[in-house]
Amino acid sequence: MIFRRLRQKRDSKHLRLRVESCVNIILELNQQLGVGKIKPEIIEQFERLRQSLEYVTDETVDEKDIHRIEEATNQLLDEIKVIYGDSRISPSHRGQIH
């Protein structure tokens, strides 16, 4: 029983890190490209998501929600690659790929 709780805590922390990674990637990319290159509505949503992460407990993080956020992040990155190419996209940190 103790091991199950430890595993669940570790998994939920991993899920939360995945969301934080997506948010940071998009917000950093917005700065690299120049403010206004990514629709302001999208940036506002990611900024709100970043702020709300402070109030999210590990137990409330859901894999399905994380997957949707990752999919949205990947779609946005794909659109930016089409417009700007890979040369404009250079992450400022080299984190774990999820």
Confidence (pTM): 0.67
Of all residues in the chain, the percent with pLDDT exceeding 70 is 71
Alpha-carbon gap, residue 80 to 38, rounded angstroms:
8
- Averaged pLDDT, 68-87: 84
Q: Are 20 and 68 in contact (CB under 8 A)?
A: no
pLDDT band at 1 (very low <50, low <70, confident <90, very high): very low
Task: Answer yes or no: is pLDDT of 61 > 90.
Answer: no
Alpha-carbon gap, residue 98 to 86, rounded angstroms:
19
User: What's the pLDDT at 40?
Assistant: 92
Structure tokens at 51: 């702020």
